[in-house]
Structure 1
């Protein structure tokens, strides 16, 4: 009987580790599937485009440079749901941001 109790006691840490690992994997999978862009602690835009026609843009999100990323990021959500990183230095993108800021200040 003592031998069975010892065997059960030695399996408990393994089961606890396995359960913890499983919990972490499930949490990581859920986070990857629906994680908001903002919570990332790194740059989101690895490549940028110079511009997209205004008619195709549904919304624009501007993330200023910070500890997560050394550059300002401009992410446009298109009407088809696709997200595109725009070059914040492109003249068209600068005009778009300026219009957004002016529109927000006139409300």
Structure 2
């Protein structure tokens, strides 16, 4: 006589695969949440602003040349919250950077 097919036994492999998949997804999401954000592998400043009022600048960020971009990038965060790329070769930006470095 053949053993009777047990409905629970046929669902067990499917349930096991589903549980394993959920466990892997949970582990992957936790790892991604703690991982640092990837930076873009291209220059962030495609165009630069030539003139900007100094009093409208809240902060400056200087990105050194690297594998992502061959040139130095200067990004100003304005008091309005917008960001503007400044030309690092302009005399105004050079003077502003010197002032920042001296503080």
With normalisation by structure 2, the TM-score equals: 0.65
**Structure 1 partner of 2:82:** 82
Return the alpha-carbon distance in structure 1 between the equivalents of residues 16 and 70 of structure 2.
46
Q: Highest CA radius of gyration, 1 or 2?
A: 2
With normalisation by structure 1, the TM-score equals: 0.63
Structure richer in helix, relative to its length: 1
Q: 1:16 to 1:47 in 2, by over 3 A?
A: farther
Q: How does 1:1-107 map to 2 (within 5 A)?
A: 2-14=6-18, 16-17=20-21, 20=25, 24=29, 39-42=38-41, 43-101=43-101, 103-104=102-103
Deviation at 1:16, TM superposition (A): 4.0
Return the alpha-carbon distance in structure 2 between the equivalents of residues 13 and 51 of structure 1.
61
Q: How many corresponding residue pairs?
A: 94
CA-atom RMSD in angstroms: 3.2
Deviation at 1:77, TM superposition (A): 0.8
Unaligned residue ranges in structure 2 (runs of 5+)? none
Unaligned residue ranges in structure 1 (runs of 5+)? none
